[in-house]
């Protein structure tokens, strides 16, 4: 094609866009909607596993570390916690709490006393319903949290005083009940205090029985970490809690499976809707195509003209749609996961690929059909 | 006459109509797939998730408080209350009986292992895998600890419930005492004669039972002299996440009016299932395991929310696409419209025709889309859950309404354009 | 040396069971104006479509300017349309988003090379140079048709085929367009024109009447 004719080609396109603004606007609008939806879903899809991991972090402990010794209530030195933190590295630990158990005496009978690090313990048991409040500081030795069953049996309520005594009655601590928890587990019958106080009452200063942790690991990583910890700290026994990793694994699996299918279904169908819309818009211009044919235009020439126009429409719609899609993804993220979705670069090539394919097909299909039609018939149509 | 016109209008230019119907059908397919999945997904997911962990615990109403340390209860057994093994079938008999995925009873006594007398070890009696007859004896139900602890790994084999000396040993205990599969183990309770057990398997995967020995419940019942005695029952039930209503029922049960109570009772909240179990089993105190119930609930909520939000957005987006096609087709038929007006049709005649056509196309597209969507949903359901998704009766009408609605919306927006077309254009061959 | 610019020999065109044209013979000399008339369904349009290379005959020969185009395929016919034929339709077909000038350039574009001066010149010939930058929606029916005629001329076709060119025009515009065809005739262009209007038909050198796909009458002037 020579220089003048190329200019004519450009002129055709320019005039087509300038003088048929309605049609072009509608086309761009449709592409825009399609791209917004598709790109937001792709963005969400690639962010979902990250989001789910964040969600699962609040599901409680996934690691247990105890003493390797086999004896009656074997203890570990308190320093093992710092050792764990150092070995696993602070960033990977979401929460870590020591546990020390023993039987203490209360005014109305015996009960199991549990020493924990309250702020960390609360992170691990976020989902326990509590009447009243958790103890907020780890150095607070004036308050305790008790289990519902214990509270009911001993007729205790929030704000009541409770004195705990050591077995030999030599040590005691007056406490106020700050909260009552309901768990459905053995905690319902226990009294929770901060570790230092428990150590004093139980006569186990500087000791802990075990630690529970929430570590940021996935699937098999957890097992490897447990083995690594046992190797590095020989006197401990480390366990990645299978019941936790099992159910979390299932959750992630079904979530991912669900997302994959939903997203691919939606992407496929939205693309089809978009394609049929664009195809229809081109198909509705059959008279134009027939006229060009009647004037002696080569098929290739007609095709290239329509294709370029559609590509332009798709390009503009896509450029507008991707940022809009990102915003939509944020809406999804904020509504469902209460957090922002980060932009996944893969959205761009993915969306462009889908759109290009759609554009080309939307141009080719109606035109191919138009070729085969009787030009004269089309021109005679109402 | 009107219907003749309609018929003509629809049958002519089938190409254009096909395109419009196809788009509507696709949008409708999308909607019906999403609708099917989102309605059923909540149930399916709950089923999947709930079967992984115990979320309800049944305990006897007791006066005392247990003192569990290292898996051993330091409170003397005498003077404490027990549940009756014969009451177990009642579990499946409650209103939400079908939601009970599995359960297992427990009875534990501390024993000493011969050769390691210093350390008490919990001897846990339970069901491994048994058939439980229904309340009226009609159907039986298989359950046991195998069904509620899918994350356990057994090296060796599961004990046979009918062999009272079969035992499972926790890995930590096995490692510490160098016990292996096939070995025999002698245990002595606080009061009574020693019993020899045969280790069939070593259990790993559960910190709770890592240092325990598990046997069929009869073994412990005999040792403790408590025939049919049960200390606790772990239940895994399919439940829906907590809501404001269920929280109200939990904290202020007396403030519920009759309607609210009925609604709560008839919804499978973990708390209402627990309530029903308490009603069914004599002397029982039933508690939801909140850690499990709440975390599962949070996940299910997220999933349902995700589906809902996505569905809403698609609803709008697909609808817009279809409306566009219809708009464009109206544009193209302006010649036809001008002609109709030229021969005397008033605006509302033409409008009526187009609206009727829109409804017809909407219905056709909607039906096709619904059927296709059903097909799709089944494939998806099969893929995700290897089971079919129950077609909910509500999806049909909703999808149908949706298809017609978007078809009409597109048309309605074109009505102003229809009004603007002048008949004179037709008379002069102009468009 | 062929004296005829156009020759149809034993042309037959069937549409399924319906035979629109049967054993049709038709010759045109260069510079002739032939009017084709007849009732609807007589085969006028079919004939015109074959002549315009928009349609292929079921059997027979069609020699146009010495070339037998009867069995040409789509692509070949497209070339012939470009090179040899100028078409004017009853419904003035213009690209709605191109100006009058650009609509003419389009025909040049498909033919060979655009030449704005040439296109302008032909617009002048139809008296529409002052409408060059207007869109079809801004032109009257008659003006639109004149642009079509101008477009039909731009590539200097061997024959001009017109299907009821004044069918959609009012009296005034009809007169203008008719005058234009007469001018073209005087300039020696070959014109084949389908019409149902006897007054227009009579402007030609001869009229052929079609009935059921056959020539039933020929009138010479």
- Which helix (H) or strand (E) segment is C153 a member of? helix C141-153
Q: Chains touching chain C at 3 or more Cβ pairs under 8 angstroms?
A: A, B
- Going by pLDDT thresholds of 50, 70 and 90, the confidence category of residue B198 is very high
CB atoms within 10 A of CB A119: 16
C107 to chain A, closest Cα gap in Å: 6
Tokens of B147: 């069904």
Whose tokens are 């046991």? That residue is B144
- A45 in the same domain as A76: no
pLDDT at C48 over 60: yes
Query: In chain B, what residues touch A186 (CB-CB under 8 Å)?
Result: 66, 68
CB atoms within 10 A of CB B294: 22
Q: Is residue B265, in this structure, part of any structural domain at all?
A: yes
C93 to chain B, closest Cα gap in Å: 10
Tokens of C122: 């032909």
- Total CB pairs under 8 A between chain A and C: 81
Q: What is the pTM of this model?
A: 0.75
- A320 in the same domain as A259: yes
Q: In this predicted structure, what is the pLDDT of residue A163?
A: 95
Kindly report the three-state secondary structure assignment for every residue of chain B. CHHHHHHHHHHCCHHHHHHHHHHHHHHHHHHHHHHHHHHHHHHHHHHHHHCCCCCEEEEECCCCCCCEECCEECCCCCCCCCEEHHHHHHHHHCCCHHHEEEEEEEEEEEEEECCEEEEEEEEEEECCCEEEECCCCCCEEEECHHHHCCCCEEEECCCCCCCCCEEEEEHHHHHHHCCCCCCEEEEEECCCCCEEEEEEEEEECCHHHCCCEEEEHHHHHHHHCCCCEECEEEEEECCECCCHHHHHHHHCHHHCCHHHHHHHHCCCEHHHHHHHHHHHCCCEEEEECHHHHHHHHHHHHHHHHHHHHHHHHHHHHHHHHHHHHHHHHHHHCHHHHHHHHHCCCCHHHHHHHHHHHHHHHHHHHHHHHHHHHHHHHHHHHHHHHCCCCCCCCCHHHHHHHHHHHHHHHHHHHHHHHHHHCCHHHHHCCCC
- B215 in the same domain as B108: yes
- A300 in the same domain as A214: no
Q: Is residue B397, in this structure, part of any structural domain at all?
A: yes
CB C109 to CB A8 under 8 A?
A: yes
Strand pairing of A76-77 and A207-208?
Answer: antiparallel
Average the pLDDT over C127-140 and give the result.
Answer: 89
Task: List all residues of chain C from 117 to 146 with a beta carbon under 8 Å from chain A.
Answer: 135
- B98 in the same domain as B65: yes
Q: In this predicted structure, what is the pLDDT of residue B430?
A: 45
- Total CB pairs under 8 A between chain B and C: 11
CB B318 to CB A272 under 8 A?
A: no
- A195 in the same domain as A119: yes
Tokens of A151: 């509270």
Please check whether residue C31 touches B, CB under 8 A. no
Q: In this predicted structure, what is the pLDDT of residue A111?
A: 92
Is the pLDDT higher at B59 or at B30? B59
- From the list C82, C91, C96, the residue facing A296 with the nearest CB is C82
Tokens of A369: 């059909």
Q: In this predicted structure, what is the pLDDT of residue A64?
A: 92
% residues pLDDT > 90 (chain B): 27
Q: Is residue A230, in this structure, part of any structural domain at all?
A: yes
State how far the Cα of A45 lies from the Cα of A256, in Å rounded to an integer. Answer: 8
Largest CA distance in chain B: 113
Task: List all residues of chain B from 107 to 146 with a beta carbon under 8 Å from chain C.
Answer: none
Please check whether residue A378 touches C, CB under 8 A. no
Mean pLDDT of chain C: 86
- A220 in the same domain as A74: yes
Please check whether residue C78 touches A, CB under 8 A. yes
State how far the Cα of B265 lies from the Cα of B310, in Å rounded to an integer. Answer: 31
Mean pLDDT of chain B: 81
ipTM, two decimals, is: 0.81
At residue C65, what are phi and psi to the nearest 5 degrees?
55, 40
Please check whether residue B428 touches C, CB under 8 A. yes
Q: Is residue B148, in this structure, part of any structural domain at all?
A: yes
Tokens of B253: 């049960």
Query: In chain C, what residues touch A301 (CB-CB under 8 Å)?
Result: 110
- Going by pLDDT thresholds of 50, 70 and 90, the confidence category of residue B385 is low
State how far the Cα of B33 lies from the Cα of B344, in Å rounded to an integer. Answer: 45
Q: Is residue B207, in this structure, part of any structural domain at all?
A: yes
B335 to chain C, closest Cα gap in Å: 12
Highest-confidence range of A229-233, B76-80, C213-217, by mean pLDDT? A229-233
CB C167 to CB B429 under 8 A?
A: yes
CB atoms within 10 A of CB B64: 15
Q: What is the pLDDT of residues A341-377, one digit of tens each?
A: 888 888 889 888 888 888 888 888 877 777 776 676 6
Task: List all residues of chain A from 19 to 48 with a beta carbon under 8 Å from chain C.
Answer: 19-20
Q: What is the pLDDT of residues B326-366, one digit of tens each?
A: 777 777 777 777 777 776 677 777 788 888 888 887 888 88
Query: In chain B, what residues touch A255 (CB-CB under 8 Å)?
Result: 299, 303
Query: In chain B, what residues touch A102 (CB-CB under 8 Å)?
Result: 69
Which one of A289, A292, A296 makes the best mutation probe of the C interface by having the most chain C beta carbons within 10 Å?
A296
Domain span at A128: 63-240
- A380 burial class (0-12, 13-18, 19+ CB within 10 angstroms)? middle
CB B67 to CB A112 under 8 A?
A: yes
CATH for C6-220, options being 3.40.50.300, 3.40.50.720, 3.20.20.210, 1.20.120.420? 3.40.50.300
pLDDT at C62 over 60: yes
- Going by pLDDT thresholds of 50, 70 and 90, the confidence category of residue B78 is very low
C110 to chain A, closest Cα gap in Å: 5
- From the list C90, C141, C167, the residue facing B430 with the nearest CB is C141
- B59 in the same domain as B16: no
From the list C199, C158, C198, the residue with the least C-alpha distance to C6 is C158
- Into how many domains does chain A fold? 2
Q: Is residue B263, in this structure, part of any structural domain at all?
A: yes
pLDDT at B325 over 70: yes
% residues pLDDT > 70 (chain B): 83
Q: Is residue A245, in this structure, part of any structural domain at all?
A: no
Q: Is residue A350, in this structure, part of any structural domain at all?
A: yes
- A299 in the same domain as A214: no
Q: In this predicted structure, what is the pLDDT of residue A182?
A: 93
- From the list A4, A7, A296, the residue facing C78 with the nearest CB is A296
State how far the Cα of B84 lies from the Cα of B58, in Å rounded to an integer. Answer: 12
Q: In this predicted structure, what is the pLDDT of residue A321?
A: 92
Q: Chains touching chain B at 3 or more Cβ pairs under 8 angstroms?
A: A, C
Average the pLDDT over B244-266 and give the result.
Answer: 87
- B41 in the same domain as B61: no
Q: Is residue A381, in this structure, part of any structural domain at all?
A: no
Query: In chain C, what residues touch B429 (CB-CB under 8 Å)?
Result: 90-92, 141, 167-168
Tokens of A329: 């993804």
CB A183 to CB B30 under 8 A?
A: no
- Going by pLDDT thresholds of 50, 70 and 90, the confidence category of residue B403 is confident
Q: In this predicted structure, what is the pLDDT of residue B320?
A: 80
Q: Which residues contact C182 (CB under 8 A, 6 or more apart)?
A: C203
Cβ atoms C96, C135 nearer than 8 A:
yes
State how far the Cα of A78 lies from the Cα of C153, in Å rounded to an integer. Answer: 101
Task: List all residues of chain A from 287 to 316 with a beta carbon under 8 Å from chain B.
Answer: none
- A208 in the same domain as A294: no
Please check whether residue C91 touches B, CB under 8 A. yes
Q: Chains touching chain A at 3 or more Cβ pairs under 8 angstroms?
A: B, C
Q: In this predicted structure, what is the pLDDT of residue B426?
A: 54
Last residue of a domain, one of A194, A219, A240: A240
Question: Which of A216-225, B380-389, C155-164 has the least mean pLDDT?
Answer: B380-389
Average the pLDDT over C94-101 and give the result.
Answer: 89
Buried b (16+ CB within 10 A) or exposed e, A195-232: bbbbbbbbebeebbbbbbbbbbbeeeebeebbeebbee
Q: In this predicted structure, what is the pLDDT of residue B384?
A: 61
CB atoms within 10 A of CB B258: 7
Q: In this predicted structure, what is the pLDDT of residue B52?
A: 67
Q: In this predicted structure, what is the pLDDT of residue B228?
A: 92
Domain span at B387: 2-45+298-427
Q: In this predicted structure, what is the pLDDT of residue C76?
A: 84
**Could you tell me the end-to-end alpha-carbon distance of chain C, in angstroms, rounded to an integer?**
26
- A144 in the same domain as A108: yes
Please check whether residue A368 touches B, CB under 8 A. no
Q: What is the pLDDT of residues B8-34, one digit of tens each?
A: 666 666 666 776 777 777 777 777 777
- From the list B49, B204, B291, the residue facing A250 with the nearest CB is B49
- Going by pLDDT thresholds of 50, 70 and 90, the confidence category of residue B77 is low
CA C193, chain centre distance (Å):
6
Query: In chain B, what residues touch C170 (CB-CB under 8 Å)?
Result: 428
pLDDT at B431 over 70: no
CA B328, chain centre distance (Å):
44
Q: In this predicted structure, what is the pLDDT of residue A381?
A: 58
CB C81 to CB A20 under 8 A?
A: no
Average the pLDDT over C34-61 and give the result.
Answer: 86
Average the pLDDT over B272-283 and give the result.
Answer: 93
DSSP for residue C189:
-
Q: In this predicted structure, what is the pLDDT of residue B206?
A: 82
Highest-confidence range of A138-142, B136-140, C63-67, by mean pLDDT? A138-142
How much is the CA Rg of chain A, to the nearest whole Å? Answer: 34
- B388 in the same domain as B247: no
- A335 in the same domain as A199: no
- Total CB pairs under 8 A between chain A and B: 226
C170 to chain B, closest Cα gap in Å: 8
Cβ atoms A284, B431 nearer than 8 A:
no
- Into how many domains does chain B fold? 2
Last residue of a domain, one of B288, B306, B337: B288
- B182 in the same domain as B235: yes
- B144 in the same domain as B15: no
Please check whether residue C44 touches A, CB under 8 A. no
Sites in chain A below the pLDDT cut of 50: 382
């Amino acid at each position: 094609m020579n220089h003048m004719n190329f200019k004519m080609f450009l002129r055709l396109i320019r005039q087509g866009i300038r003088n048929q603004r309605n049609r072009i606007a509608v086309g761009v609008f449709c592409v825009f909607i399609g791209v917004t939806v598709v790109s937001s879903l792709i963005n969400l899809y690639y962010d979902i596993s990250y989001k789910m991991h964040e969600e699962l972090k609040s599901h409680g402990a996934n690691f247990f570390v105890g003493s390797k010794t086999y004896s009656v209530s074997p203890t570990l030195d308190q320093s093992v916690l710092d050792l764990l933190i150092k070995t696993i590295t602070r960033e990977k630990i979401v929460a870590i709490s020591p546990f020390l158990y023993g039987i203490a005496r209360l005014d109305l009978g015996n009960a199991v006393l549990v020493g924990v690090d309250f702020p960390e313990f609360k992170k691990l048991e976020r989902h326990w319903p509590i009447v009243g409040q958790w103890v907020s500081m780890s150095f607070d030795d004036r308050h305790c949290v008790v289990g519902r069953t214990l509270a009911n049996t001993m007729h205790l309520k929030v704000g009541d005083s409770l004195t705990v005594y050591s077995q030999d009655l030599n040590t005691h601590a007056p406490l106020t009940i700050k909260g009552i928890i309901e768990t459905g587990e053995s905690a319902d019958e226990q009294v929770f205090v901060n570790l230092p106080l428990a150590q004093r009452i139980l006569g186990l200063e500087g000791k802990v029985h075990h630690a529970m942790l929430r570590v940021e690991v996935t699937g098999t990583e957890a097992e490897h970490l447990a083995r690594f910890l046992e190797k590095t700290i020989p006197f401990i026994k480390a366990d990645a809690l299978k019941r936790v990793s099992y159910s979390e694994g299932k959750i992630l699996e079904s979530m991912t499976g669900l997302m994959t299918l939903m997203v691919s279904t939606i992407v496929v169908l939205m693309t089809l809707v978009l394609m049929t819309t664009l195809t229809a818009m081109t198909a509705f211009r059959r008279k134009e195509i027939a006229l060009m044919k009647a004037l002696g235009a080569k098929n290739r020439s007609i095709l290239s003209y329509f294709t370029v126009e559609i590509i332009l429409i798709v390009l503009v719609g896509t450029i507008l749609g991707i940022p809009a899609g990102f915003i939509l993804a944020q809406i999804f993220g904020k509504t469902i996961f209460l957090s922002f979705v980060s932009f996944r670069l893969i959205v761009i090539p993915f969306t462009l690929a889908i759109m290009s394919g759609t554009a080309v097909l939307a141009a080719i299909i109606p035109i191919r059909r138009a070729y085969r039609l009787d030009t004269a018939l089309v021109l005679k149509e109402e | 006459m009107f219907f003749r016109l309609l018929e003509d209008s629809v049958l002519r230019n089938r190409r254009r109509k096909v395109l419009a119907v196809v788009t509507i059908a696709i949008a409708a397919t999308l909607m019906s797939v999403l609708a099917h999945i989102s309605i059923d997904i909540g149930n399916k997911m709950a089923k999947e998730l709930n079967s992984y962990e115990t979320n309800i615990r049944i305990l006897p109403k007791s006066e005392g408080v247990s003192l569990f340390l290292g898996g051993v209860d330091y409170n003397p057994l005498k003077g404490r209350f027990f549940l009756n093994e014969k009451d177990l079938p009642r579990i499946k008999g409650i209103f939400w009986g079908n939601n009970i995925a599995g359960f297992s009873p427990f009875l534990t006594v501390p024993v000493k292992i011969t050769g390691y007398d210093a350390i008490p070890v919990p001897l846990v009696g339970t069901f491994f895998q048994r058939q439980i007859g229904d309340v009226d004896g009609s159907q039986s139900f298989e359950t046991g600890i195998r069904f509620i602890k899918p994350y356990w790994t057994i090296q060796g084999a599961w004990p046979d419930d009918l062999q009272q000396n079969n035992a499972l040993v926790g890995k930590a205990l096995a490692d510490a005492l160098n016990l292996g599969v096939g070995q025999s183990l002698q245990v002595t309770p606080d009061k009574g004669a020693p019993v020899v057990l045969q280790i069939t398997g070593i259990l790993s995967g559960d910190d709770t039972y890592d240092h325990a020995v598990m046997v069929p419940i009869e073994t412990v019942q005999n040792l403790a002299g408590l025939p049919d005695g049960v200390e606790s029952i772990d239940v895994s039930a399919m439940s829906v996440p907590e809501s404001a209503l269920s929280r109200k029922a939990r904290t202020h049960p007396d403030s519920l009016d009759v309607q609210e109570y009925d609604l709560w009772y008839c919804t499978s909240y973990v708390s209402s299932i627990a309530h029903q179990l308490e009603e069914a089993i004599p002397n029982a105190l039933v508690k939801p395991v909140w850690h499990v119930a709440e975390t599962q609930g949070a996940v299910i909520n997220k999933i349902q929310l995700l589906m809902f939000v996505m569905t809403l957005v698609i609803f709008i987006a697909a609808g817009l696409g279809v409306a566009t096609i219809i708009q464009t087709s109206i544009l193209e038929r302006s010649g036809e419209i001008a002609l109709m007006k030229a021969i005397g049709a008033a605006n509302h005649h033409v409008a009526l025709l187009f609206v009727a056509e829109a409804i017809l196309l909407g219905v056709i597209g909607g039906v096709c889309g619904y059927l296709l969507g059903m097909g799709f949903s089944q494939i998806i359901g099969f893929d995700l859950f290897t089971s079919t998704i129950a077609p909910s009766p509500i999806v049909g009408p909703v999808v149908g309404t949706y298809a017609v609605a978007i078809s009409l919306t597109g048309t309605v927006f074109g009505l102003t354009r229809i009004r603007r077309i002048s008949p004179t254009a037709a008379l002069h061959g102009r468009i | 040396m062929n004296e005829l610019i156009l020759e149809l020999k034993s042309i037959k065109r069937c549409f399924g069971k319906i035979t629109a044209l049967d054993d049709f013979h038709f010759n045109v000399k260069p510079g002739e104006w032939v009017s084709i008339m007849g009732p609807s369904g007589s085969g006028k349009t079919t004939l015109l479509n074959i002549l315009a290379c928009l349609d292929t005959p079921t059997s027979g020969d069609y020699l146009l300017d010495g070339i037998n185009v009867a069995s040409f395929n789509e692509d070949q016919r497209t070339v012939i349309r470009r090179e040899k034929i100028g078409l004017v339709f009853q419904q003035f077909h213009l690209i709605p988003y191109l100006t009058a000038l650009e609509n003419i350039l389009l025909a040049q574009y498909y033919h060979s090379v655009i030449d704005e001066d040439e296109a302008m010149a032909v617009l002048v010939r139809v008296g529409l140079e002052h409408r060059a930058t207007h869109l079809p929606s801004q032109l009257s029916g008659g003006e639109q048709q004149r642009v079509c005629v101008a477009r039909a001329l731009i590539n200097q076709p061997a024959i001009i085929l017109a299907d009821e060119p004044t069918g959609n025009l009012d009296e005034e515009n009809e007169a203008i367009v008719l005058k234009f065809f007469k001018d073209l005739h005087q300039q020696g262009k070959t014109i084949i024109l389908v019409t149902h209007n006897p007054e227009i038909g009579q402007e030609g050198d001869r009229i052929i009447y079609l009935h059921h796909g056959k020539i039933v009458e020929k009138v010479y002037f």
